[in-house]
Chain A
Amino acid sequence: MEAGKVRVSLEVNGKAYTAEVEPRLLLVHLLRDQLGLTGTHIGCDTSQCGACTVLLDGQAVKSCTVLAVQADGGRVTTVEGLASPEGLHPVQIGFWEKHGLQCGFCTPGVIMTAVGLLQDNPRPTEEEIRTALEGVLCRCTGYQNIVRAVQYAASQMAEADERREVAAAETE
């Protein structure tokens, strides 16, 4: 191993990776520059814009404020890993349906933030959605269609849950 570097092992979007990194390397740079996952963006230096948001062990975090070594042994989901073989994640669908993006640069981070929100609070009010977007900045949309996108995703996910419950009840 190169002097001054440390080994990190982590799972990203279901795949195991091992990399030798400088201890100061930011997780976002590991994702972008070394793993080639350029869907996660960098929009500021002060952890305000949220463009770099990913899920680390299920929690939405700003990957510009996490060292790669802190993610050692962790499980990371980026926007590239959100869709399943069956199709797009409901939050992605919501953004497409409701025109929740324009230039698209903040979008991966906003989507991951919304995924985190809906994990914690599956049926948020509009006010709760707007408050949950405190940690992201979007300069294009004026946020209104982002709110609509999250509402759409929440209702789709709730409907899917109900269908699953009904199906489970029927099989019992």
Chain B
Amino acid sequence: MAQVFGAAVKRREDPRLITGRGRYTEDVQLPGMLYAAILRSPHAHARLVQVDTAAAAAAPGVVAVFTGRDLAGKMGTIPTAWLPPDSDIKATAHPALAVDKVRYVGDGVAMVVAENRYAARDALDLIRVEYEVLPAVTEQEAALQPGAPLVHDDAPGNVAFRWRAGNATDEVFTQAEVVVRQRFRQQRLIPNPMEPRAAVADYNASTGELTLWLTSQNPHIHRLLLAGILGLPEHKLRVVAVDVGGGFGAKIACYPDEALVGFAAMQLGRPVKWSEDRREHFLATTHGRDMVLDVELAGRRDGTITAIRVRNTANLGAYLSTAAPGVPTILFGLIVPGPYQIPYAAVEVTGVFTHTTPTDAYRGAGRPEATYLLERMVDLFARTIGQDPVAVRRKNLIPADAFPYHTAMGLQYDSGNYQQALDKALAMAGYADFREEQARLRQQGRYLGVGVTTYVEICGLGPSQVAGAVGFQGGLWESATVRVHPTGKVTVFTGTSPHGQGEETTFAQIVAAKFGIPVEDIEIVHGDTHRIAMGWGTYGSRTTPVGGSALAVAADRVVEKARAIAAHMLEAAAEDIEFAEGQFTVKGAPGRKASFQEVALQAYLAWNLPAGMEPALEGSAFYDPVNFVYPFGTHVCIVEVLPDTGEVKLLRYIAVDDPGPVINPMIAEGQVHGGVVQGIGQALWEGAQYDDQGQLVTGTFMDYALPKAHFFPNLETAFTETPSPHNPLGVKGIGETGTIAATPTVVNAVLDALAPFGVREIDMPLTPERVWRAIQSGRDSA
């Protein structure tokens, strides 16, 4: 049998998805189903004087209208679930519908439930709301100014929390040979998975059970939070999220809207469906990034980096979304020293309330922001001391023999060979030759640039003790159950909740490799809280390192039991039984054998099991990882900038990533492609903008530029594979590497191209206008 772990097995989820037979939340149709629509505030900050729903309630087809006051005492508010320790966090819960005030454009004001979706939308226009409009503030530094409009009365100065960590002192910087300072703006991004959020709720009053289909990355977390909000016993709430059309962090949060759909179904005794339209997604689904970063890097003239410190002023929006406080603190701060041996590092974070859509995790969540500032600083440092940026990286990279490596931020990096990935990427790019070509082309008035990023990321979030220590209000272990049926076919239940990452295939590969059976004999079940014991979901590149490891442990337990049964069947000692390619054999007697399927059948027949053994063949694991895992790699981008127009042409993009052992190279490569394109999106095109009144002026795909196919050359990808000692599979995660590495790689390349103009920094996205202006101001000052 061919090696299955590491093979490019075609995806098992695809046949249903390419024939239109997926089951996304919006596809659920139930008899008697009603449709909900939500009225959203057109103002960023206003007092609600009156909400008159009479005309809407009387409109044809309308079944009910709910306002914030109707929910009082019947439904809880929406909490945050990450409270960073040693911070003075003010966590004002989000009312599902505004009661006294609206705090961002898109804040929910009322919900209409009607016989069809058109009637529901029509009725929204009949709700008369009297607003007393108040001044709004949308930018975090403005919000911190004395006299700025307050978002919450109990958060003076709009400070949600302050948090600090690290060991770098002023003295390190005052005594440094070289100090480089720079401010970076991590612009606000809008996740935009192609499937908008949706919910369908079905309540059975006689059993008291609510079934909620959700666009969710973490159904069990949603069950836990929504049970509390809706006042339902947890075991009476079933959350289902089988096919989910992308998440990128935006489907982690617990939102008011989904809770309202459940509430309406319980109140009305009929199923209710709600789907946001894209405009609502822009306004009412969490945004990402939005940080102002003031950075200082200290070093020596020989290229050694001695310290880095960062002040992060993070825009959290109007309310603290579910995981929001953890993003600019833990997920950002701990990885600031990156892949380099930097003895001193420090991070100081101010989380700020503004009258904007709440921010939360967006693919990479904190780590892209940290990697961006670090990689930009390394290039600026190299420029300051007159060295090649690759030489500076090479001098500071943690050497392969230094692992496990303890960082200045208190992390223990598991394993790595950062130089190998760097060498491979540079060889693919032809770096040395490019520098010669670049110099030659500059003579001809052509401006090419190369950007290089060496990165490490923190992922596979766990163990749970650390989750608790960093303030995450949940565990970060994972569950797996491997159920072998009497015929030797297998059903796997995982607590992770993949939504495009392909684990129905890669998890089947893990089990197929363990049992020596075809992947076709294995079915992966995910995304249903009634079928799966518990789970913490899919985000932070944790699915394979944590969920896959849980699966490996559970499968090993099955093998151990099967081995004991085989030994009994073959009348040999268990330690004399060998198991390979689906066959149990007696050591030294290859003729005495039993197949995995024969053993499974005997386990269920249970006519003649070893004394004291229970029937059946099933293994479960609740696996808590020993530590995080740390994927790494090097990305290289070559661009040409057209100085007359400011356009950036992507000529080549090279990604060398090390996610540990690759289970399925086709799927891993796909993850890199998608991540890189999203990361380049931030560098060149994407950015949310509010006007002074707090209106989101980039609120459709006409104003917010998502990457398109013809923007890109073919991406060149490769892997190195350095196993992690932190989990039984040695795997590290691949879902976020692209967004982490691509953004600084492209920006460094553009700024390298613009070096002759003396351009040092351009705020992202690097649109033609901004690039052109930077060139002009460089020319003016020259």
Contact = CB atoms under 8 A, between A and B. Distances in A.
Do chains A and B stick together as partners?
yes
Contacts of B52: none
Interface stretch (A65-73, A97-105, A154-162, A163-171): A97-105
Given A44-B700, A80-B20, A101-B14, A142 B712 contact: yes
B674 interface: yes
A144 B673 contact: yes
A40 B19 CA distance: 10
A133 B20 contact: no
Interface residues of B, number: 58
A108 B243 CA distance: 14
A9 interface: no
A130 B194 contact: no
Contacts of A92: 18-19
B510 interface: no
B245 A103 contact: yes
Given A45-B278, A141-B670, A145-B670, A104 B701 contact: no
Given A101-B18, A105-B193, A137-B194, A41 B702 contact: no
A80 B27 CA distance: 14
User: For the side of the interface on A, what is the size category?
Assistant: 35 or more
Contacts of A137: 194, 701, 706, 708
A80 B22 CA distance: 11
Which of A37, A97, A143, A147: most chain B Cβ within 10 A?
A: A143
Contacts of B275: 42
Interface in A19-51: 22, 24-25, 29, 32-33, 36-46, 48-49, 51
Given A102-B501, A105-B195, A133 B278 contact: no
Nearest to A13: B20
Contact of A45 (B24, B27, B700, B715): B700
A51 B194 contact: yes
Contact of A44 (B243, B278, B670): B278
Interface string A63-85: 00000000000000011101100
Contacts of B22: 39, 104-105
A57 interface: no
Interface string B696-723: 0000111000111110101100000000
A118 interface: no
Contacts of B10: 96-97, 99
Nearest to A128: B710
B240 to A, nearest CB: 16
B674 A45 contact: no
A104 B500 contact: yes
Given A44-B700, A96-B15, A137-B708, A103 B20 contact: no
A19 B670 CA distance: 42
B701 A44 contact: yes
Contacts of A96: 10-11, 14-15, 18
A87 B117 CA distance: 36
Contacts of B13: 104
Contact of A29 (B15, B29, B117, B715): B117
A39 B20 contact: yes
A105 B193 CA distance: 9
Given A92-B19, A144-B673, A38 B27 contact: yes
B248 interface: yes
A106 interface: yes
Contacts of A22: 118
- Top 3 A-B pairs, shortest CB-CB distance: A39-B20, A105-B245, A103-B500
19 contacts: A39-B19, A46-B278, A46-B702, A48-B700, A51-B194, A82-B19, A83-B19, A92-B18, A99-B669, A101-B18, A103-B195, A105-B22, A108-B18, A130-B710, A142-B670, A143-B708, A143-B712, A144-B673, A144-B715
Interface of A: 22, 24-25, 29, 32-33, 36-46, 48-49, 51, 78-80, 82-83, 88, 92, 95-97, 99, 101-108, 111, 126-127, 129-131, 133-134, 136-147
Interface of B: 10-11, 13-15, 17-22, 24, 26-27, 29, 116-118, 192-196, 243-246, 248, 275, 277-279, 499-502, 666-667, 669-670, 673-678, 700-702, 706-710, 712, 714-715, 738
Given A105-B194, A142-B707, 7 more contacts: A39-B22, A43-B194, A102-B500, A104-B13, A105-B22, A139-B192, A142-B673
